[in-house]
Amino acid sequence: MSFLGIDLGTSGLRALLVSDDGTPIGATERHYQVSHPRSGWSEQDPADWIAALQGAIAELWAEYPEFAGLQGIGVAGHMHGAVLLDTQDRVIRPCILWNDTRSHAEAARLDALPAFRRLSGNIVFPGFTAPKLEWVRAHEPENFARIAHVLLPAAYLNLWLTGDHVADMSDSAGTSWLDTGRRDWSAELLAASHMSRDQMPRLIEGSATAGRLRPDLAREWGLNGPVAVAGGAGDNAAAACGIGAMTEGQGFVSLGTSGVLLVARDGYRPAPETAVHTFCHAVPEKWYQMGVMLSATDSLNWLSRITGAKPAELTAGLGEALRAPGPVRFLPYLSGERTPHNDPLIRGSFTGLGSDTSRDDLTRAVLEGVAFGLRDSHEALKATGARTDRLLAIGGGARSHQWLRIIATALDVTLALPSDGEFGAALGAARLGRVASGAGSVDQVMTAPETTVEISPDPALRDAFDAAYQDFRAAYPAIRRVQ
């Protein structure tokens, strides 16, 4: 038997084939573009996702004989995106993505209605799905009138795989339409944003079976038997499944395009006033909370673009030794910010620049600024009672041990790096497919990886980082006033 995990990311799709004991067999990636028609807008054509998936499947089928024994598929997707479909399941307009901020006015209006925080457990952020639909209603009424179904990106792939409109709890919790405690669509929240339950997909748990792979696809892919398709998950819930963060206190920090600090919770403990996200987990009777910053590695990539040096070149100039924060400060708000500010309009800045400021000084300030942004999330999570003494570090930025030393000391938390091998959203999605097929239980499948490296906070620099963090916190309102 084999199982397929699909990670539908913002910039590309990753497909991972694993064996019946969870060992990776092979993987491939396909990339696509994000469109920015206007400042603050971010869109994609869902047809690009299907083309990427078809190309990935063709490669896995050709290279790995084990693909013929496929028994289960799980899909993880970038959250909050709005795929609008007509009565024939045709895409009405490009998908508005999670990092699109055009609906900030609509988000503020919905968030002012007490029912949204009370029932969804979250602030209505501009990137969430409900305000996007309110924006479409106001600015594209002809498109709004045609909407028969609204699907999230992962659910759209599930529709293509199974022919059914179905979504999991973890992804759906990021729409602002879900009663997150009850794990069901809220008629009150839907009505407040001019939507109906009929336009929503059927809800299931991420580890449950959403349906079977369409027979025509099974024949085209040369498969030997029926294939279960799992409910799937939002990307961060899938990453939690991939690294075994399933019970109270287990979690990770992810250094990707955005930065995420996630902790699993055994119960539902919303705290919207902190700007922490409280979502259903991808398995029954579990939730998770996370703080999100919108520009993590994106901040370093931005500095790379304007300096003409690759990110690895920038960080190489800092050496191995950890130093106290310098006078140059960077606010990493290149695309606005979620936790803790919920401010789509704030933008990044450098302060403390002098004639002697070097490229290395700018690089160090960017790394520290992202670390302090993650500490904002850490402080917010601690306010909810979450325990975060030790976190796994994942994502592309985790390859920089220098950056992890800065983050560990800024948060005063030990960071552990998984051993070489697969982990994260693609593996989590494959694990959900495995459970949905009946080849294992959640407890048997969602295990933590081995770790070989632990990075502890530097006690000698803790006070210096604490002081720099307080300055970082004070800079936000001052910069906000003058922007």
| Positions marked active-site | 235
Helix (H) or strand (E) holding 279: strand 277-280
- Which residues are within 8 A (CB) of 57 and not within 5 positions of it... i.e. 6 or more apart? 15, 221
Residues 6+ apart with CB under 8 A from 256: 296, 297, 395, 396, 397
Angle formed by the axes of helices 359-383 and 462-482, to 10°?
90
Q: Please, where are the H alpha helices in 255-400?
A: 297-307, 311-316, 359-383
State how far the Cα of 364 lies from the Cα of 355, in Å rounded to an integer.
Answer: 17
Return the closest-CA partner of residue 156 out of 56, 283, 50, 33. Answer: 50
Alpha helices in 122-269 (DSSP H): 129-139, 141-144, 153-162, 169-172, 187-192, 215-220, 235-242
79: helix, strand or coil: coil
Which residues lie across from 19 on neighbouring strands?
A: 2
Query: Alpha carbon of 281 to those of 26, 115, 242, 427: distances in Å?
Result: 27, 22, 13, 16
Amino acid residing at 380: A
Q: Would you give the DSSP letter of residue 283?
A: S
What are the distances in angstroms from CA 5 to CA 217, 236, 255, 287, 427?
16, 14, 21, 22, 6
Look up residue 22 and give its amino acid.
G
Angle at 390 between CA 389 and CA 391, to 5 degrees: 130
Angle (nearest 5°) at CA 23 between 21 and 28: 135
Distance CA(72)–CA(210), nearest Å, equals 11
Tokens of 273: 């006033």
Question: What is the helix (H) or strand (E) element at residue 369, kind and residue range?
Answer: helix 359-383
**Peptide bond connecting 332 to the previous residue in cis, omega within 30 degrees of 0:** no
3-state secondary structure of 117: helix
Picking from 105, 103, 7, the residue whose alpha carbon sits closest to that of residue 52 is 7
Residue pair 101/126 in contact by the 8 Å Cβ criterion: yes
